[in-house]
């Protein structure tokens, strides 16, 4: 019985370690500076963050509007989900203390992040429709 419990513990540890390593590798792909190209909120263009820069480093980010102070936060990704998921936890601003459930897609130098307003379900597609409470942001990697 002890050997079965020990086996299960070691197996569980190895699975968790593998998932954490995979998440770290995925966040490394997201590291760097990303220029916000466009934002849609509830199906309508929102130019308030157009031209902002999102800087990712590990599991932390800072979103800096063109004419404003940077908003720091952290995020967690799960690249095993379809679509891949991203949970963002802003450290300041109107979303401080909230978890934003989202999805993301990285294709070359283009990053799409789609997230739900607090209290809404995680989006299942990269679309922001009227009344959905969903925000869709398109980023291009700065070189």
pLDDT tens sequence across 1-53: 555 444 444 444 434 334 444 567 888 999 999 999 999 999 999 999 999 99
In the chain, where the domains are located: 2-141
Please name the residues in contact with 28: beta carbons below 8 A apart, sequence gap of 6 or more.
Answer: none
Nearest to 29 by CA among 84, 72, 100: 84
Residue owning tokens 């379900």 = 121
d(CA 33, CA 117): 24
Look at domain 2-141 and name its CATH class. mainly beta
Please name the residues in contact with 97: beta carbons below 8 A apart, sequence gap of 6 or more.
Answer: none
């Amino acid at each position: 019985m002890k050997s079965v419990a020990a086996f299960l513990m070691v197996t569980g540890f190895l699975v968790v370690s593998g998932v954490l390593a995979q998440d770290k590798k995925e966040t490394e792909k997201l590291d760097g500076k990303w220029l916000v190209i466009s934002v849609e909120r509830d199906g309508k263009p929102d130019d308030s963050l157009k031209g902002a820069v999102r800087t990712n480093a590990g599991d932390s980010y800072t979103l800096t509007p063109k004419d404003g102070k940077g908003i720091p936060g952290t995020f967690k990704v799960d690249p095993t989900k379809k679509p891949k998921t991203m949970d963002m936890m802003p450290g300041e601003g109107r979303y401080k203390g909230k978890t934003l459930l989202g999805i993301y897609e990285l294709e070359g130098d283009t990053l799409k992040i789609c997230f739900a307003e607090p209290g809404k379900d995680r989006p299942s597609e990269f679309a922001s429709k009227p009344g959905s409470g969903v925000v869709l942001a398109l980023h291009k990697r700065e070189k």
